């Protein structure tokens, strides 16, 4: 058997393998396309009023088994509350941005999200309030938290 004959055999086997792999991939894609997506049935408890959807008044921004941080729109403006379930740790009201501050922060877009390198948390700053933790599980994309902060500031400034 000559060297050129061997090269031709390898070339044919290679083309057959490539065609087989491509065919298998196409078959898997077709089977996936045929599957009907599953959708959870809606419960009556899940109904939310249009007002609650349009104007958020509260958002949980950080949540672990020990801590929860929420931002809440109140008559005073935008307030931050921390619930720390560990003994001896400070919980409750942390800070307030007045309506005037919220309006200034919103108009100057003085809020930033820093996802950082940590797997589960990043930090955000909103006006003079710097380096507050947020959960990436709640906001997997920084733009989602940015949008939520913008909505809360808008609601707090009116």
More confident residue, 46 or 25: 25
pTM as predicted? 0.62
Residue tagged 């400034």 (tokens): 157
CB neighbour list of residue 81: distance below 8 Å, 6 or more residues apart: 69, 70, 71, 72, 92, 93, 94
Domain ranges of the chain: 1-34, 55-156
How many angstroms separate the first and last alpha carbons of the chain? Answer: 87
Contact criterion met (CB below 8 Å) for 70 and 80: yes
The CATH number of the domain covering residues in 55-156: 2.30.29
Is the model's pLDDT at 3 over the cut of 80? no
pLDDT attached to residue 52: 47
């Amino acid at each position: 058997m000559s060297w050129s004959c061997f090269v031709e055999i390898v070339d044919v086997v290679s083309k057959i393998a490539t065609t087989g792999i491509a065919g298998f991939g196409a078959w898997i894609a077709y089977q996936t396309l045929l599957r009907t997506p599953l959708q959870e049935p809606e419960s009556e408890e899940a109904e939310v009023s249009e007002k609650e959807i349009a104007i958020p008044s509260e958002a949980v921004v950080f949540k672990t088994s020990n801590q929860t941080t929420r931002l809440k729109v109140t008559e005073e403006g935008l307030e931050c509350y921390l619930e720390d379930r560990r003994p001896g740790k400070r919980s409750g009201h942390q800070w307030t941005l007045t309506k005037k501050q919220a309006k200034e922060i919103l108009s100057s877009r003085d809020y930033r999200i820093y996802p950082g390198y940590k797997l589960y948390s990043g930090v955000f700053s909103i006006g003079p309030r710097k380096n507050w933790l947020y959960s990436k599980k709640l906001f997997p994309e920084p733009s989602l938290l940015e949008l939520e902060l913008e909505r809360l500031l808008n609601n707090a400034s009116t």
